[in-house]
């Protein structure tokens, strides 16, 4: 039995390229950078983008992990807009410390939101939504549907609505020459007259009139401005597109009265901008990013002469900042900078003489140190992807990750680096959904379930004994006659030479493949469309199988999966809409452990006809049990801290170890407690290192110490 109880948790080498919404550079320190994601909260780099680390202490899961805006007040204090509608708010962090809520009166939408206030092309309400006056008396914020607000930075943050309610705010900037003037870019889904740029005067002293829409040389036709940026005291750049879907870049002067076109591109939409006045040449440097560039596959354009000429930038995706290889590069050329599906969400240029530059969007973070001419990916330990299942092959200690975006990945070095091999898998329109490892054979046979991410279709199951370089063979799920519905869970073992494969199929039930044929063995499970997975396992030493179904409870088969009966009922009511329920098995003692929102339980002699009644296992008052794994004679419990009723009563994320002899121990360090709020799977290798699949922030690795 392994006796390790102390762990150091860290991000894995699953260096994702998920959508990064916003980025901020610490004033005077271009190596200190914060990036905000649509699903994973924030990451911090203190080494100029060579490595990143999750930084979500103080945020609730899942409600405030969606980053909509970031802005440094000074080199010590960072403000951020987090959330997805209700429950969102303005936060701040001092010297890299925890996030503290400043105001919950202002609401944001850093993730896909179907609210009618958000226009269809913009599911995320993100970007340049926070501005400070030069005296640092006030912070101004643009919400996704309630207009513009002013909050005091001195004393209580009294919250004053300034106007533009009902509009979708895309960007706002304070006039550097006059703290009383605020410019706001807006969208409106239906009424183009409510889109454009509005100017507010008297915003700091309360003397102003309602916001006035600018009608300058071109402002009337440039209805959809995405971002505004002052690049010197008197000059602003506005980017977006007009009603004819022609991308537009404007030079704005004379306090918003004069609009000069600098760049137009048919069929494009400019979404990001930054720039500065080059004191040596007396000319403006401008860099703009786009979200629609299918014509030329150009994500960024830069001008060193104030917009008279423009050049596309060069993307160098083969290695990360620092020279390490990036697993993602050969897998998705379209998602790289200058790829066909890349989106530039925000650009940031440092205020230091070297003018270090970063751009975020789809996919990830990119960096330039040559004034924007060339860019390299900055992704090391930027963990921003959904992982439905993590499993360890006990014969090899190889880790497998079932990933929404990348189907299946594997690692042979404790998740330092990941790899992919999908020969034989039809990857069109599918995500990775479930994993099973049949370790009763050597080599193990690995099973992969895939299906459409958003609808129950394109379901398929594959398996291989050589996931590194072999061919994945179809398990012929279509022969089961389930019309392509998605597999939600798998379990597999071999009896003698014969494989047994169980598959929980959405809105169908539980299927068993034995003797090369599929049969429906349980119609009562996996019927709820909210089910995201359905924990399923075989007892390899007995003819017993178990499944947790979120609607009905724990089911058991005592004949290797042919017939099923209910062993324990699910809670009658759920306050957590995301709750799935989890199971793990101590095969040696025949104890089945399970967790749900009601707590953590053990069923002794679970495989026997006279199985015991569920016995509760006491958890700390501020803890809730999530995914489970039984290894090395003890139960590993990934504590979950999400969706459990009143936010003020939500538990702290933690990792627990449990044995009948020693009771319950906490093994989560401060990093896990800050970032492990939404685990969806857990497994452990032969050295007792822990791997936790997360709903958003990749995979967290707990190294035994």
138-188 per-position pLDDT tens digit? 999 999 888 999 999 988 778 999 999 888 899 999 999 999 999 999 887
pLDDT on residue 646: 52
289-300 pLDDT, tens per residue? 998 765 577 899
pLDDT on residue 192: 73
1 vs 237 pLDDT, higher one: 237
Say if residues 639 and 675 touch (Cβ distance below 8 Å).
Answer: no
32 vs 186 pLDDT, higher one: 32
pLDDT on residue 656: 96
CA distances in angstroms from 427 to 24, 334, 404, 546, listed in the order given: 36, 16, 12, 30
pLDDT on residue 244: 81
Task: Return the closest-CA partner of residue 677 out of 703, 645, 700, 648.
Answer: 700
Determine if the pTM surpasses 0.75: yes
H or E stretch at 44: strand 42-45
Q: Write the CATH number of the domain with boundaries 223-384.
A: 2.110.10
Average pLDDT of 658-681?
Answer: 91
Lowest mean pLDDT of 156-170, 229-243, 387-401, 500-514, name the range.
156-170
pLDDT bin (cut points 50, 70, 90) of residue 578 is: low
pLDDT on residue 677: 84
Model confidence at 63: pLDDT above 80: no
**How does the average pLDDT of the chain come out, rounded?**
90
| Beta carbons within 10 angstroms of residue 637's beta carbon | 30
d(CA 367, CA 356): 8
Task: Return the closest-CA partner of residue 152 out of 97, 90, 93, 207.
Answer: 90
| Beta carbons within 10 angstroms of residue 62's beta carbon | 20
Q: Residue 343: beta bridge partners?
A: 362
Model confidence at 301: pLDDT above 70: yes
Burial class (CB in 10 A: 0-12, 13-18, 19+), 554: buried
Model confidence at 533: pLDDT above 80: no
Share of the chain above pLDDT 70, in %: 93
What is the dihedral sign for C-alpha 333, 339, 341, 347? positive
* Superfamily name with CATH number, domain 56-213: YVTN repeat-like/Quinoprotein amine dehydrogenase (2.130.10.10)
**What is the pairing mode between strands 212-213 and 196-201?**
antiparallel
Average pLDDT of 219-242?
Answer: 86
Lowest mean pLDDT of 109-118, 185-194, 272-281, 528-537, name the range.
109-118
207 vs 6 pLDDT, higher one: 6
pLDDT on residue 111: 78
pLDDT on residue 579: 67
Residues 6 or more apart whose CB falls under 8 angstroms from that of 322 comprise: 50, 51, 380
**What is the pairing mode between strands 663-666 and 67-72?**
unpaired
Residues 6 or more apart whose CB falls under 8 angstroms from that of 533 comprise: 388, 389, 433, 434, 488, 489, 580, 680
Average pLDDT of 353-369?
Answer: 94
Same fold flag, 56-213 and 387-704: yes
Highest mean pLDDT among 192-201, 367-376, 384-393: 367-376
Diameter over CA atoms, the chain: 86
pLDDT on residue 218: 58
pLDDT on residue 540: 96
d(CA 271, CA 229): 12
Lowest mean pLDDT of 73-87, 282-296, 469-483, name the range.
282-296
d(CA 650, CA 264): 50
pLDDT on residue 118: 63
696 vs 502 pLDDT, higher one: 502
pLDDT on residue 268: 85
Exposure on the CB side of residue 186, measured as CA atoms within 13 A: 35
pLDDT on residue 114: 61
Both structure tokens of 673: 């407690």
pLDDT on residue 693: 94
Say if residues 545 and 495 touch (Cβ distance below 8 Å).
Answer: no
Name the residue ranges covered by the structural domains of the chain.
Answer: 56-213, 223-384, 387-704
pLDDT bin (cut points 50, 70, 90) of residue 490 is: very high
Architecture of domain 387-704: 7 Propeller (2.130)
Both structure tokens of 459: 């379901």
pLDDT on residue 491: 98
């Amino acid at each position: 039995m392994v006796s390790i109880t102390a762990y150091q948790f860290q991000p894995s080498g699953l260096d994702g390229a998920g959508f990064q919404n916003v980025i901020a550079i610490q004033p005077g320190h271009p190596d200190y950078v914060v990036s905000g994601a649509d699903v994973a909260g924030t990451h911090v780099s203190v080494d100029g983008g060579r490595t990143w680390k999750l930084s979500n202490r103080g945020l609730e899961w899942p409600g405030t992990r969606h980053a909509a805006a970031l802005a440094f007040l000074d080199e010590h204090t960072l403000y951020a807009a987090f959330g997805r509608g209700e429950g969102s708010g303005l936060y701040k962090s001092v010297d890299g410390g925890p996030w503290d809520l400043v105001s919950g009166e202002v609401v944001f939408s850093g993730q896909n939101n179907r609210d009618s206030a958000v226009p269809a092309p913009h599911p995320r309400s993100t970007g340049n939504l926070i501005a400070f006056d030069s005296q640092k008396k006030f912070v101004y914020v643009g919400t996704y549907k309630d207009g513009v607000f002013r909050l005091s930075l001195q004393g209580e943050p009294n919250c004053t609505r300034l106007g533009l309610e009902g509009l979708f705010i895309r960007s706002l900037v304070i006039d550097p020459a006059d703290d009383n003037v605020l410019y706001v870019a807006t969208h409106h889904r239906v009424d183009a007259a409510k889109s454009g740029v509005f100017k507010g005067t008297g915003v700091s002293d309360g003397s102003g009139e309602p916001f006035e829409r600018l009608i300058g040389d071109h402002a009337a036709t440039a209805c959809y401005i995405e971002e505004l940026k002052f690049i010197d005291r008197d000059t602003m750049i506005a980017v977006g597109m007009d009603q004819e879907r022609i991308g537009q870049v404007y030079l704005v002067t004379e306090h918003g009265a004069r609009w000069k076109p600098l760049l137009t591109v048919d069929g494009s939409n400019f979404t990001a901008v930054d720039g500065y006045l080059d004191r040596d040449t007396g000319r403006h440097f401008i860099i703009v990013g786009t979200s629609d560039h299918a014509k030329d596959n150009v994500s960024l354009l830069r001008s060193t002469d104030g917009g008279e000429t423009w050049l596309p930038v060069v993307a160098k995706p083969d290695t990360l900042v620092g020279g390490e290889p990036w697993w993602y590069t050969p897998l998705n050329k379209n998602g790289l900078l200058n790829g066909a599906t890349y989106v530039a969400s925000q650009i940031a240029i440092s205020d230091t003489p070297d003018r270090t530059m970063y751009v975020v969007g789809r996919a990830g973070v990119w960096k330039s140190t040559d004034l924007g001419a060339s860019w390299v990916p900055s992704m090391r330990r930027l963990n921003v992807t959904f992982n439905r299942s993590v499993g360890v092959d006990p014969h090899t200690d190889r880790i497998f990750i079932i990933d929404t975006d990348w189907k299946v990945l594997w690692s042979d070095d404790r998740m330092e680096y990941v790899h992919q091999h999908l020969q034989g898998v039809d990857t069109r329109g599918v995500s990775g959904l479930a994993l099973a490892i049949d370790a009763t054979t050597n080599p193990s046979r690995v099973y992969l379930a895939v299906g459409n991410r958003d609808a129950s279709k394109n379901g398929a199951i594959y398996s291989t004994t050589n996931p590194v370089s072999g061919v994945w063979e179809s398990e012929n799920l279509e022969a089961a006659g389930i019309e392509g519905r998605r597999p939600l869970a798998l379990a597999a073992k071999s009896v003698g030479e014969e494989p047994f494969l169980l598959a929980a199929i959405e809105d169908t039930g539980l299927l068993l493949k034995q003797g090369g044929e599929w049969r429906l063995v349980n119609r009562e499970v996996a019927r709820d469309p909210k089910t995201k997975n359905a924990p399923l396992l075989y007892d390899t030493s007995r003819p017993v199988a178990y499944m947790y179904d979120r609607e009905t409870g724990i089911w058991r088969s005592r004949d290797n999966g042919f017939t099923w009966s209910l062993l324990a009922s699910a809670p009658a009511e759920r306050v957590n809409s995301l709750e799935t329920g989890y199971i793990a098995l101590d095969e040696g003692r025949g104890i089945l452990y399970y967790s749900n929102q009601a707590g953590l339980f053990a069923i002794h002699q679970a495989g026997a006809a006279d199985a015991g009644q569920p016995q509760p296992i006491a958890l700390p008052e501020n803890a809730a049990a999530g995914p489970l794994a039984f290894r090395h004679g003890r139960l590993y419990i990934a504590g979950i801290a999400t969706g459990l009723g009143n936010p003020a009563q939500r538990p702290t994320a933690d990792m627990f170890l449990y044995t009948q002899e020693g009771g319950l121990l906490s093994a989560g360090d401060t990093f896990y407690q800050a970032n492990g709020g939404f685990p969806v799977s857990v497994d452990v290798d032969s050295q007792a290192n822990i791997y936790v699949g997360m709903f958003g922030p990749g995979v967290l690795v707990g190294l035994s110490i």
